[in-house]
Amino acid sequence: MKELLLVAKIGGERVALPASAVESVVELDTLIPVPRAAPHVAGLSALRSRVLTVIDCRRSLELGKSEQTERVREAVVIELDGHHYALTVDTVEDVLAATSDPQPVRAGMGSGWERVSTGMVETEQGPMLLLDVMALIAGPEAKAA
């Protein structure tokens, strides 16, 4: 497998996202709250005349609220079914090639991580948890449904 992966930190953990799902990496400086939105929806922002739904990945993973409340947020922009989302992350680090197919995780990670994980992949920098962007966007409420 030679899939490219975007390496980021969420909640202090290094994780991988499929690079094929990533449209861009941006810094968001404006965030408009959305009344009655799910708790993991941080708000709305704009990028090149497009509206982005901003997903707080920490909340989606049930790790608590992001610490980036009043400053610029680093985000990974994803397009899914014609809608644009910005997934807030602690930092974006690198793009690497996966050297293996995803393998099952054999340790308990916590319910949020287990819900969004598609498995561990090997890279030149060691194993990384591969995340499902659709599950991050859906949030913890999706598992209850």
Q: What is the pLDDT of residues 6-31, one digit of tens each?
A: 999 999 999 999 999 999 999 998 89
Q: What is the pLDDT of residues 85-99, one digit of tens each?
A: 999 999 999 999 999
Which comes out higher in pLDDT, residue 72 or 75? 75
User: What's the rounded Cα separation, in Å, for the pair 56 and 40?
Assistant: 5
User: What's the rounded Cα separation, in Å, for the pair 70 and 131?
Assistant: 26
This prediction has a pTM of: 0.89
Name 32's bridge partners: 44
Domain ranges of the chain: 4-144
- Segments of 19-116 assigned E as strands: 22-28, 41-47, 50-56, 73-80, 83-89, 91-97
Q: What pLDDT, on the 0 to 100 scale, is given for residue 18?
A: 95
Q: How many CA atoms lie within 13 A of 44 on its CB side?
A: 10
Q: Give every CB contact of residue 72 below 8 A, 6+ residues apart in sequence.
A: 27, 28, 29
Which of the four CATH numbers 3.40.50.360, 1.20.120.80, 1.10.10.410, 2.40.50.180 does domain 4-144 have?
Answer: 2.40.50.180
User: Which range, of 19-23, 24-28, 73-77, 107-111, averages the lowest pLDDT?
Assistant: 107-111
Cα 69 to chain centroid distance, Å, stands at 17
Q: Report DSSP state, residue 145.
A: -
